[in-house]
Amino acid sequence: MQKIQLFILCFFLASSAFAADKKNVRQKEALDKPPVSQGSANDAPVEKRVDWSLAPYPGKDGYLPKGYQGADPGKLLELFKSKLAAVQKGELETPEDFAQRKADVDAVLAPIKTSDLYAFWKPDILVWYDAISRYFVFRSKDNETFCDEISPQWNACKIATVENSQSSYPEKFPQGMATVKRTKVTDFSLAIPQSNNLFRSPAFVYDFTRMGFYYYVTTLPDDAKKLKANKIGMLFVGSIAGAEIIAGKGNVSPPTFDDPTDINMQEEAIPFNLKKIVFYVVETGKILDVMNIQP
């Protein structure tokens, strides 16, 4: 009996020693490993963002950078709208103070500055060379308006379509389920005051249905031949005139069971003081002519 008790006691002591050795090994391994962060709100991975800045119009000495086509309208509108969305009334701010702060356009739209000039490529223009008259013609298309009247104060001149998306979704109608095809189109335009001299210049053409544009730049035939393979266009150059989005023409067509199409077309314009229109060769940046409009 004593032998059995002695055997059990020895087994217990050996087991305890083995467990202690394993604990010491685990402790040593833990000390050898680098510390692991338990995580917190501040430790969350930060998504890298590439900030896009709007560069002012770089025209000087009769030339632009090679390939220059002005500011990116989609990025400009995105930046512009993000600045407006960030303007919120403070809890301790009076309505008067809030209105005054919003009126400080440079503060609201920074880094956009009302003192800087910005350029926008006007794509809906026909350009050709008239060999008899010896000039390049810049004219709006017959089936498109150069600018539209959107209010008693503003004319909107379209620059580009910045969104044209299609999608589909299921919709329940009284007659049953149907798959709706959705189309969303957003046009970016410049809202130019109707008092701007552009709308009183000989280059601006009015008729019964639309506002058009016609301008010519005198060029010698030999010079025109050299530009035959080049892309020639025009830029609207001016300054941002306000911190607001002005709604232009739009079209909303809700879906029905018989016609399951959802169409949303909108024009978003920013206030713009048009100073001049620049006619130039895109590849070389050579400025052919400048139509000065506002001082």
Q: Would you kindly state where each structural domain of the chain is located, as residue ranges? A: 54-292
**66 Cβ partners below 8 Å, 6+ apart?**
283, 284, 285
Lowest mean pLDDT among 12-16, 41-45, 231-235, 249-253: 41-45
Burial class (CB in 10 A: 0-12, 13-18, 19+), 293: buried
- 291 beta partners: 277
**85 Cβ partners below 8 Å, 6+ apart?**
none
Q: What is the pTM of this model?
A: 0.74
**pLDDT at 94 exceeding the cut of 50:** yes
Rounded CA separation 253/259 (Å):
10
DSSP state of 289: E
pLDDT tens for 40-78 read: 333 333 333 434 557 899 977 789 999 999 999 999 999
